[in-house]
Amino acid sequence: MNDLTCVIIGGGHVGLHSLKAIKDETRGMVNGRRIRFVLIDKQPGHVRKMLLFRPAVGQEEITIPWTHYSFLEGVEHVRGKVTSVDSGGKQIRFEDAHGIHALMPYDLLVVAVGSVVRQPASDRGGIALTDPQAAADIRERWRANLRKAAGETNREERKRLTSIAVAGAGISGVETSAELALEMRKEASSLGLDPSDITVYLLSGQNQLFLEGPEKVGIKLDRVLSECGVTVLYNRKVMQAEAGAVKLSNGDRLPVGLCIWTIGLIPNPALRSMGLPLTSDGQVLVDECYRVQGATGVYSIGDCARIVDPENGKADLMRAGEGVLQADRLGKIVIADLEGRPAPVHKSAGSIMEFFCIGLGENRGFVWGSKWGLHMIITGKLGWKIRQLAWDKGSMLR
Ligand SMILES: Cc1cc2nc3c(=O)[nH]c(=O)nc-3n(C[C@H](O)[C@H](O)[C@H](O)COP(=O)(O)OP(=O)(O)OC[C@H]3O[C@@H](n4cnc5c(N)ncnc54)[C@H](O)[C@@H]3O)c2cc1C
């Protein structure tokens, strides 16, 4: 009997977990047919997207080659950018690494093409933390500014060169600003600058941090950030980053050497032309078992899909934490569908337990969990260990 081909588009946090879950659940065979697995991604390896800010502060490599993963043994990797899904003909179209267009047939398809970082209009200045290259550019810029500051005699100009604005105070803005403040202080000391001159402003358009939890958690997070050297400015958005300063929504002008945008994620825009049914926001429409509407054998999860808990109507957030739970369930759904049994149904992560962890630099973590109205906050070294574990689990490194 012919092999059954299972293609996973996207080897991000969710695509990797999906592949492993389907492999584990099926053990590579179903109804007497061997399953051939193909992973197609436009990148040469798994990008640890949650650590995107790391190359902006240090020189950490955040792309893990596919060969690192032992569970990918026997899986075919194709480097290519998928352009469309022909669900009637059960094939995908893609452009390979040499720009050649080709077709790939599938029996089962998992669409996990994720999201991209939202960018401001190009005339608004600054640098958006979109990918490892943008992160490396950010690092070059602030380091060059500190070197200039070390030779600057004008106090105000020195202050400007040692200041940074991070626009957008979601979790990635918080983590970026905390790690930047620590790293910039270290670099300042080595250049003979006063580390306490380093100022990292974190601009929030809201009146509190961490809207995912209660106000007191946001207040505590503000306190920990301030100990790291980050000043949070509330109810102020960056309107424009111009030479030497940022213009704020309240009319203020803040002199800084660099503005970094961390304004959230949007579903992968490539989905718009893939031929799959989408919500108005551009996420793939799926049922409560992640099956793409009107496309037999096609599933979609992670940041690129709109996943709703049928019990409470709550949509999952674009978070690796949520996506990994979806992937584990997807393995069970796929085998149930193939064997003609009832499949498990999506359940939101929040209905099990609310859980967020934030890294604030070496040995500083911030973890918040909530269940049955009881809240738990863990900070310091233990919080950092939990944060590291979550990063590693997200990228299947533990
Ligand atoms: C700075 C930052 C910090 C974050 N922190 C957290 C956090 O603390 N906790 C948390 O839960 N979440 C966090 N997130 C969100 C988390 O990164 C995403 O939810 C997660 O990456 C989603 O995984 P995914 O696999 O669905 O998508 P992605 O990680 O976006 O992966 C998509 C994959 O598809 C590939 N791809 C895209 N288009 C194509 C195509 N056309 N053809 C072939 N391949 C394609 C990409 O190369 C990529 O490998 C953070 C995000 C950022 C940017």
Tens digit of each residue's pLDDT (9 = 90 or more) over 183-218: 999 999 999 999 999 999 999 999 999 998 899 999
Cβ–ligand 1 distance for 326 under 6 Å, the answer no
β 230-233/199-203 pair status: parallel
Q: What is the distance in A from the centroid of ligand 1 to the CA of 188?
A: 33
* Model confidence at 22: pLDDT above 90: yes
Same domain, 129 and 102: no
In a domain, 393, yes or no: no
Residue 243 is predicted with a pLDDT of 86
Cβ–ligand 1 distance for 115 under 6 Å, the answer yes
Residue 350 is predicted with a pLDDT of 81
Same domain, 322 and 346: yes
User: Which among 263, 293, 315 is the end of a domain?
Assistant: 263
User: Cα–chain-centroid distance for residue 322?
Assistant: 12
Residue 101 is predicted with a pLDDT of 98
Same domain, 135 and 101: no
Residue 233 is predicted with a pLDDT of 98
Same domain, 343 and 252: no
Same domain, 8 and 44: yes
Q: What is the pLDDT of residues 29-53, one digit of tens each?
A: 999 999 999 999 999 999 999 999 9
Phi, psi of 277 (to 5 degrees): -70, 135
- How far apart are the two ends of the chain, measured CA to CA in Å? 36
Cβ–ligand 1 distance for 179 under 6 Å, the answer no
Residue nearest to atom 19 of ligand 1 (CA): 319
In a domain, 382, yes or no: no
User: Which among 206, 230, 263 is the end of a domain?
Assistant: 263
Cβ–ligand 1 distance for 320 under 6 Å, the answer yes
Cβ–ligand 1 distance for 319 under 6 Å, the answer yes
Q: What is the distance in A from the centroid of ligand 1 to the CA of 373?
A: 30
Residue 1 is predicted with a pLDDT of 67
Cβ–ligand 1 distance for 55 under 6 Å, the answer no
Q: Which residues, including other chains, have CB under 8 Å from residue 144's CB and lie 6 or more apart?
A: none
Residue nearest to atom 31 of ligand 1 (CA): 12
Percentage of the chain exceeding pLDDT 90: 95
In a domain, 367, yes or no: no
Q: Which residues, including other chains, have CB under 8 Å from residue 236's CB and lie 6 or more apart?
A: 203, 204, 205, 248, 249, 250, 252
Asked whether 76 and 37 are in contact (CB, 8 A), the reply is: yes
Q: Which residues form the domain of 287?
A: 4-52+60-116+266-351
Cβ–ligand 1 distance for 284 under 6 Å, the answer no
In a domain, 357, yes or no: no
Q: What is the pLDDT of residues 104-134, one digit of tens each?
A: 999 999 999 999 999 999 999 999 999 999 9
Cβ–ligand 1 distance for 264 under 6 Å, the answer no
Same domain, 147 and 280: no
Q: What is the distance in A from the centroid of ligand 1 to the CA of 114?
A: 5
The whole-number average pLDDT for the span 137-155 is 97
In a domain, 339, yes or no: yes
In a domain, 80, yes or no: yes
Angle between helices 320-339 and 380-394 (to 10 degrees): 40
Same domain, 13 and 69: yes
The whole-number average pLDDT for the span 21-31 is 95
Length of the chain in terms of residues written: 398
Same domain, 173 and 48: no
User: Which among 202, 230, 263 is the end of a domain?
Assistant: 263
Domain count, the chain: 2
Cβ–ligand 1 distance for 40 under 6 Å, the answer yes
Atom of ligand 1 at shortest range from CA of 357: 8
Residue 353 is predicted with a pLDDT of 86
Same domain, 129 and 194: yes
User: Cα–chain-centroid distance for residue 269?
Assistant: 15
Residue nearest to atom 28 of ligand 1 (CA): 114
Same domain, 182 and 104: no
Rg, C-alpha atoms of the chain: 23
Residue nearest to atom 39 of ligand 1 (CA): 113
Q: Which residue has the tokens 């967020």?
A: 356
Calculate the dihedral angle through the C-alpha atoms of 233, 237, 241, 245, rounding to the nearest 10 degrees: -30
Asked whether 254 and 246 are in contact (CB, 8 A), the reply is: yes
Q: What is the distance in A from the centroid of ligand 1 to the CA of 303?
A: 7
In a domain, 321, yes or no: yes
How far is Cα 225 from Cα 277, in angstroms, rounded to an integer? 42
Q: Which residues, including other chains, have CB under 8 Å from residue 189's CB and lie 6 or more apart?
A: 195
Residue 140 is predicted with a pLDDT of 98
Residue of 19, 54, 113, 176 best suited for mutating to test ligand 1, as the one with most atoms within 8 Å of CB: 113
In a domain, 299, yes or no: yes
Q: What is the pLDDT of residues 302-333, one digit of tens each?
A: 999 999 999 999 999 999 999 999 999 999 99
Same domain, 174 and 198: yes
Mean pLDDT of the chain: 96
Tell me the CATH number at 111.
Answer: 3.50.50.60
Same domain, 151 and 31: no
